[in-house]
Structures are given as structure tokens and as C-alpha cells.
Chain A
Amino acid sequence: MIIKVQNLVKRYGDLLALDHFNLEIEKGEVFGLLGPNGSGKTTAINCMLSLLKFDKGTIHIFDRNMSPDAYDIKRDIGVVMQNVAVFNELTVLENIQYFCGLYITDKTKRNQLVDEAIDFVGLGDYKKFYPKKLSGGLLRRLNIACGIAHKPKLIFFDEPTVAVDPQSRNNILQGILKLNREGATIVYTSHYMEEVEQICSRIAIIDKGKTLATGTKDELKAMVKAGEKITVELYSDNDLNGALIEKISNLPHVTDVSLNGNLLTVRCTGGRHNLIRVLDTLKDSGLTFGRVYSEPPTLNDVFLEITGKELRD
């Protein structure tokens, strides 16, 4: 077990930030902590890193108790913070050298790792640039390079893609997967469910400091009633009456039917032929339609069903 957190309780005055929070992460996983802003993701990570005091619970990393002076544990941990943490007075190269130097004392090895980190994040052309001269995306890449240059076994990414353009975001996500392939265990926090779905092998859904559910994305989706979501764009001259809506509602696996303007939305539980059955019903009734979408359930649907609110609320 790489990380084992048991019954972690953390209070900020009257606010219960972590409420008997539990977590287990295995070696080689890309583990996602998914939850809305303020759900306790960053607090949990800061407690795991011994930056924050906590009121109750235990934290073990690499099967050892984590504490502020557990340097042997810290040596194998890398952290990419939500906020960019670099020296504005040092160049890209000097920043990476500095943070790598906090872990690696051998100069030759350090220089080699720094070069690899620069190649990894694609900052080769910006080695002599100061952080203030870098764009937001490049700055995020520098932040990542500083966190991973020493080749840690366990890397925490705390919302690394906030305020990043789509291209840089994709680069960052691909980079994280590459680090994982090279052997690092990843803990990734985000409130972007698409990112978590894209890269995480296991996910914990967090809200109000509690772990609500843990599993692979398929396991999480299987936990909820919400399945396929079918959206049909009806032509405006169609006459969709109440009898037809009821007919669709009575189809197998259909749980909910709603009409919003000319968009008909049908929600179904797991089933193989839901889309065909809905379209056949519409055709049989003589209705014409344009675009049709079929979406599998998302983590937002899972979150919605568990908490009764949207992930982005």
C-alpha cells in the first residue's frame, strides 16, 4: 500500500473540513480525488504531506507513519501544487535545479535529472527565461517540472490544470500518464470530472470532507441508477403528445422522460438496445427528428445521485 489514510478528521474552527476521511492507494495507480471546490481535496493532501495539523486519524505512506521530519518518506514524494511555486528571480533552469537539488545531492545525477525534466515538460527553448516571461501554460509546465524532476515514486497533482488552455491541459494529462507508465504512483485531485475520467484508474468521490464512493469509473457508474442518456432533436412541426411521452416512459429500462423545447431527453438504466427502442417508438408515431445523442452516465451523474447536487454547484 502506497497511501493509507484512516479516519482523518480536520477542523477549521467550527467547520469540519475532513470528516473521518479514509483512503487507500495501491502502487502504480493513477488515483483521482474528485469533488467540488471546498470538498476537502487539498486539505486531505496537505494533511498527507504533514503540512497541516489534523485532529484525529492516521496517515501512512510507503507503510510508514508520515510526520514533518519523515525525510526518508519525503525523499520519494513529488508535489505539483495548485498554485505555482517557483522563484521569480531564478530562470527556468535554475528553478528546476534548485528544487531537484533539495532531493538530489549528487551534481552529475542532478543535472541529468534536470535535463530529463526539461525535456519532459518541453521547456528546452525556455531554459534561460524568468517565470514572469512565461505564459500561463508554460508556467504550469515549469511548476510540474519542479515537482517531478527528482523522479519520485509518489506524485501528488493538486488541480494542476486550473486556468490552463486546452492544449497545455492535454499536454499535462498526457505527461501524467507517462510518469505513471514510468513507475510513479499518481494522486490527482480535480473538480473537472472529464480529466479524472480520462486519466484515473481509480477514483474517490469526495464531498464535505467525506469519501462518498471509491472505485474505477465503471464501478462508480454501476453504483447508480442513472445509465444512458438519450437526447433527440425533434423538428418543430412535430406534435409530441402526452400519450407518446407515456409510451416512451413505459419502454424497458427507461427511468425518466423530459421535453425541453424541441429536445427530448430520455434517461435509462443499463440496457443494450435503449436507443433503438426509443427511435423506433418515435418513427412508429410518425415523428421526424434530426440529431440524436446517446451518452453513457458521467461521474457528474454519479455525484448527482449520491449527493443530490451537481459536481460544479
Chain B
Amino acid sequence: MFLFLYLKRLKCLRRDRDTVFWTLLFPILLATLFYIAFGNLLKQDESFSAINTAVVNNDSYQQNKAFQQALKSASTGEDRLLNLSVLTAQEAKQKLSKGEIDGVITVSDSITLDVRGSGLKQSVLKAFLDQYIETEKITSAILAANPSAAKQGLFNSLIDRQTFTKEITLSGANPDTLLNYFYALIAMACLYGSYWGMRNSTDIQPNLSALGARRSIAPTHKLTSVVSDLLASLTIHFAQILILLCYLAFVLKIDFGSRFGYVVLTCFMGSVTGISYGTFVGYACKKSERIKSAILIGISMFLSFLAGLMFVDMKYIIAKHVPVLSYFNPAALITDAFYSLYVYESLNRYFLNICILGTISVLLAFVSYLFVRRQRYASI
């Protein structure tokens, strides 16, 4: 009997196009919009390409061996900064105007840079030249004061570039605050599972639907009906969340770190919480289905907002000023579970979030069952 009810319910829910749109297609659409809106900020593997640069071949350039050496260093090797061409002033000007090169360096009494437009490459070129000019000035000043400085190796530290810090996470993933938007999006999708929960409650209560009346008249134990409906909706919704997760991870290439099993567990618990929340509203709220839907959307969006869906810093503002709210907000708990997996090596904080989600779900489900158990209605 249970399997029969479960399979039929599964078929029924799978064909509910309206709810499938809101619980699957809408989050995918929103994720795509996020991805487009954030654009290149999310492309972590984008490589820097060398800057096409020309140097004017004049007497001053030919005499400035140090600058020639500096340009040679910057334009050789795999990680070269420049694609250097040595051209006449006329040729360089033409190529610059056609956009074939990004800048023209001219050596005269001083070193000047001509660029067309402004942008990252132009800024890098300017920084390169500024740094050279500054280094040249310091070198000249040192040699004027101490002609034997070069022999003593005093310039080594001047030209040596060292980086003493490296940015990494304990889990080995690249830190990125934009990821929280996608975590909050999954949290929102989990809470949208409340649609399935509400539909379950509507379809089983005689005071809410004719279907509920017909099912209540049947000789099926209420618990069997409730649990089969719940499991069917959980199956559908969890599958939807997994599809969303795969879309984010494999199509949009959103980084969820290396602990994918725990990511899936978070999705599962989020799905359970969403359905329990919808079931609870469905049983506890005595208003029309339209009002209940509005309540579900409103609360889901508000909780997702607090978890950083629209403004990523909101999560941190809440955590700082009203930390207790984060412990009761399922969206914040789901987001924080993803964040914990991504950032911390320890799973303590992650499991705290999962346990709170589980407790909330069990409480909501239990209260919902009390509403429906042996129920006879005052009016239908």
C-alpha cells in the first residue's frame, strides 16, 4: 500500500508543472542571471595575455642599454609582460591608431608612453614604466653616492621582487565572496520546497480540498498517507536541488570545494527543511491557498535575503548584530553550511548547522502531524 501510494504520488507531483517551475526552473534561471551579472568576476582561470607594445627605434633608445635590457627581460619567456616590437615613430603611430598595439614607448630625454584609450593593459604599461623610471633614479642616486655599490651587490635587493604572503583557504579552494550568492540561491531553492509541503497538506485535508475529503474517507491510515506524500515530495525536491547543484557546479563552474558528499548532504537537509516548513504552514494557516502561497514566497525570500541572496554583506550584518537570528533562519544555516565546508577544515561548524536544520525539520513535521492526526473538522 505504502509503495503504491508513494509511486502514484511521485507521478502526480512530477507532472505538477507550476510547482516544478518555481522549485527547479526558476532557481536555474536566477542562477544563470547571477552568472551573467557577475560576468568575468567568476572566471578564475582567465589568464593574463602579454601586452602588444612598440618602442620607437631612435638614437636615444639605441644608447639606453639599461632600458633595452629591461624591455628584453619583460618581453621574453612564457610569463612575459610585453609583446615588444621595435618600430619607427611613424609605424608605431599607425599601428597604435589601428589598435594593433596597446602602447608606444618613446625614449628621448625622458621615457614617455603613448596609449590609445584606457584600460587594464594601459595601466600595467604605465606601472611598468613608472617602476623602471623610479628604479633608475634610485640606482643613479646610489652610484653617485657610492660608485662601488654595484660591486658590493647593493642592487640585488633593489631589483628582486618578493611576495611574502599567499592567499589560500584551509580547504584548498579559492576564497570568493560572490560564491555566497549562489549558496543563498540554493538555500532559497531549498525553501521553495515548501510549495511541495503545502500541496501535501492541501491534498490531505478535507477542509481544504475535495481531494482531501475523498482521501480522508478512504480506509488508509493517516500516517501512511502523510509519510508517502512527504517522501514523494522529498524525492522530487531533492532531485531538483541536485539538478540545480549539478548545473551550478558543472555548467556554471561554481566552486563548491572538494567535499562534494557533504555538499549533497546539505542539499538534502535543506530540502527536508523546506518541505517541512511548507507542510507546517499548510496545516497551521487556515487561510486560502493563495494567501498561503504568498506567505511561503514572502518568508522564503525574506529568509534568503537575510542569508545574503540580494546583498552578500547582509549575512555578516545579521551574524554581527543579531547572531541568534542566524540560528533560526534555515536559509542562513544552509548558506553557512556551504561556507563552512568551503572555508574551514574542521566540520564542527558544518555539523552544528546541519543539526539545527534537522531539529527545525523534526519540530515542524511533528507539529504538522499533530494537526492532521485523527482530525475531524468543525467545518469543511
Q: Which residue of B is nearest A99, CB measured?
A: B214
B214 & A81 in contact (Cβ 8 Å cutoff):
yes
Which of A120-140 touch B at CB < 8 Å? none
- The smallest C-beta distance from A171 to any residue of chain B, in angstroms, reads 21
Of A72, A75, A89, which is within 8 A of B15 by CB?
A89
| A78-115 contact mask (Cβ, 8 Å, vs B): 1 or 0 | 01010111110110001001110111010000000000
Contacts of B216 in A (CB 8 A): 51, 68
Q: Does B215 contact A (CB under 8 A)?
A: yes
Q: Does A12 contact B (CB under 8 A)?
A: yes
Q: Does B169 contact A (CB under 8 A)?
A: no
- The smallest C-beta distance from B216 to any residue of chain A, in angstroms, reads 6
B217 & A79 in contact (Cβ 8 Å cutoff):
yes
Report Cα–Cα, A233/B38, bound state, in Å.
86
B380 & A71 in contact (Cβ 8 Å cutoff):
no
B220 & A102 in contact (Cβ 8 Å cutoff):
yes
Contacts of B376 in A (CB 8 A): 50-53, 68
> How many A residues are at the interface, by size bracket?
20 to 34
Q: Does B221 contact A (CB under 8 A)?
A: yes
A90-B12, A101-B8 known; A85+B210 contact, CB < 8 A: yes
Contacts of A87 in B (CB 8 A): 12, 211
A89 & B12 in contact (Cβ 8 Å cutoff):
yes
A68 & B12 in contact (Cβ 8 Å cutoff):
no
Q: Which residue of B is nearest A84, CB measured?
A: B210
| B9-28 contact mask (Cβ, 8 Å, vs A): 1 or 0 | 00111111000000000000
Q: Does A74 contact B (CB under 8 A)?
A: yes
Q: Does A46 contact B (CB under 8 A)?
A: yes
Give the dominant DSSP class at A's interface: loop
Which of B75-89 touch A at CB < 8 Å? none
Report Cα–Cα, A31/B216, bound state, in Å.
24
Q: Which residue of A is nearest B12, CB measured?
A: A89
A102 & B218 in contact (Cβ 8 Å cutoff):
yes
Of A69, A71, A72, A85, which is within 8 A of B213 by CB?
A85
A94 & B8 in contact (Cβ 8 Å cutoff):
yes
Q: Does B5 contact A (CB under 8 A)?
A: yes
Report Cα–Cα, A103/B219, bound state, in Å.
6
Contacts of A89 in B (CB 8 A): 11-16
Of A49, A72, A85, A98, which is within 8 A of B209 by CB?
A85
Contacts of A105 in B (CB 8 A): 1, 4
Contacts of B131 in A (CB 8 A): none
Contacts of B1 in A (CB 8 A): 101, 105
A89-B13, A101-B5, A102-B219 known; A81+B377 contact, CB < 8 A: no
B217 & A51 in contact (Cβ 8 Å cutoff):
yes
Of A51, A69, A72, A77, which is within 8 A of B377 by CB?
A51
B213 & A51 in contact (Cβ 8 Å cutoff):
yes
B217 & A71 in contact (Cβ 8 Å cutoff):
no
A72 & B378 in contact (Cβ 8 Å cutoff):
no
A97 & B377 in contact (Cβ 8 Å cutoff):
no
Report Cα–Cα, A85/B213, bound state, in Å.
8
Which of A195-209 touch B at CB < 8 Å? none
**With A50-B376, A81-B210, A146-B214 already in contact, 7 other A-B pairs whose C-beta atoms are closer than 8 Å:** A51-B213, A51-B380, A52-B377, A74-B217, A74-B218, A89-B16, A102-B218
Interface CB pairs A-B, < 8 A, 15:
A51-B376, A52-B376, A53-B378, A69-B221, A74-B217, A85-B213, A87-B12, A89-B16, A90-B12, A90-B15, A98-B8, A101-B5, A101-B8, A102-B218, A105-B1
Interface residues of B (CB under 8 A from A): 1, 4-5, 8, 11-16, 206, 209-211, 213-221, 374-380
